[in-house]
Structures are given as structure tokens and as C-alpha cells.
Structure 1
């Protein structure tokens, strides 16, 4: 998927790639709390977090999602023929801790006509973020609005 300027017709179900990895830092957590305003104690208070199920502070789920998205953009070339249409599912099945290293596997899992547009189709791209232990820490079904090379009749 790193080829430039692919059209809807060029994407194949099953094609995939894996991003580079990135370590989540203490600074990431603090900066995300500052940016989002989410200072919930399970993210920012180590003493409180000790009383919680994971026993340590955990990264914000939406921060993991944002960093995962950045890893995807850094691992693929710009393509003016696709843009985000929305998300069907975002899940955080395991926590991310400061010091964890994450990467993302991106896979095209569905392709269909857009119900109202003859010039675009819809691609479903799953984005599975894993940590250094191979545990899934985020899963996203990302719907992409993709320009057709040839409009449908």
C-alpha cells in the first residue's frame, strides 16, 4: 500500500503492511493529557493506579489510536485518492504502559461500491496495534473513501 496515487481499483483485499515501531514515553502521556484535558488518575497518578487492576498508570486509549495513525502515515506515501470516511470499530483490548513499544499491521479487508457515489468506493482497512509482547493493544476498522479510476455506470 505504499505505492503513490493508488485508486480504488488498485487495492486488493488481503494486501497488508506493518509499520515501524515506536516506544510510548512518559512525555507522550503527559502531552496527551495536556492536549486532551484528560487527566484521569489511571493515566496520571501512579499512587492511584497502584489500586487499579493494571497496578500502573496506563496510556490513554485515544493516544494509542493517534500514535498508531501517525505510524501508518509515516510508513506509507501520501495518496490524494483516499481519505478517511469514518470508523466502524475502535477497541483497546489490552493496556499500553509508558515504555511499551507499539507497531501496527494494516490490512485491506473489504472493498465495496459507495451507495451514493459513482466516482468513489469504500475500502475497509483493519489496523491492529500490538506491543513488544505481541499483545493487541488497539484494533480499528477504518473506512476509506477512495477515488475510482473509472466511475461506475
Structure 2
């Protein structure tokens, strides 16, 4: 089981996720089209040449999903009951086609579940960086996490 059980986590625990991902134009255009987002920021290269960015930027919802997705294998794969929410989602710098994303996560809060004695609530701080070390996304994610089964 690659995920971590609730009772094996501790506040301050850090994960430097080994998976990295280079974002492609196809990723951005396909995700943007699939989610019916017509924003010129993601689809119109000519328009974007005249902006402060100079090129299309990656859809922030894709960036958020990629950041959280990269974290799953090391944190919640097979040990999560459910995702409860994302808070304080931020995108301090844009992500561009061809950028490579790496992700770090930290356990920032743990509390016992009042309704489920076999689980607890964990809050992670996820941070995504591009290949230059620039922070491109962050969020706090809360989830219901299983405790290690009693043998």
C-alpha cells in the first residue's frame, strides 16, 4: 500500500514527490476544451502574444489537478476514504507549455474523526514548482484518511 495511514502521519511530515511532469500543449488544450473553458488565455496564441505573458498559459484547474494528483501515490493512494475540500488555492506564477512540474506536500493538521473511529482528517499543504524553482500553485487539501487496520 503506497499511501500512508492516518495514525502513521504526523504534523510537519514532508513529502518531496519523485514524480515530475512536463506539461504539454495537448494537456492544456484538451483539458480546457473538455471543461468548456473558452478563455483566450489558454487557447489563443496570437492574442496572448500581446499580453504580459507573451504566450498561452496553462489552465489553472489543470495545474491544481496535476499538483494534487502527483501527491496521491505517496500520501493517500489506498488509504483515503474521500477528499473533503481544497482551501486557499493560489497560482502565484503562470505555468506554460513545456514547463516541468514537481510537487512537495506537508501534513499541516491532523484530527480524529468524530463520526468514524477508523479514520481521521488530514490537511496537507501542497506546493507545485516549475523547473526554475518558481512556485506556480499551492493549496490546502483536507481528506478523510483511514487508520491502519487492526490485525
- TM-score by length of structure 2 reads 0.85
Instruction: Return 5+ residue gaps in structure 1 as ranges.
Output: none
Counterpart in the other structure of 2:82: 83
Counterpart in the other structure of 1:36: 35
CA distance, structure 1, for counterparts of residue 64 and residue 108 of structure 2 = 19
Counterpart in the other structure of 1:54: 53
Q: Which moved more, 1:19-28 or 1:118-127?
A: 118-127
Instruction: Return 5+ residue gaps in structure 2 as ranges.
Output: none
Aligned CA distance change for structure 1 residues 106 and 5 (closer, same or farther; 3 Å): closer
CA distance, structure 1, for counterparts of residue 114 and residue 41 of structure 2 = 43
CA distance, structure 2, for counterparts of residue 140 and residue 99 of structure 1 = 23
The structure 1 residue matched to 2:9, chosen from 4, 8, 11, is 11
CA distance, structure 1, for counterparts of residue 32 and residue 3 of structure 2 = 36
Spell out structure 1 runs of 4+ moving beyond 6 A.
none
- Deviation of 1:47 after TM superposition, in Å, equals 1.3
Deviations 1:53-110 (A, max 9, x none): 2121100000111122222234557323443111122111110000111011011111
RMSD between superposed Cα atoms in Å = 2.2
Equivalenced residues, count: 148
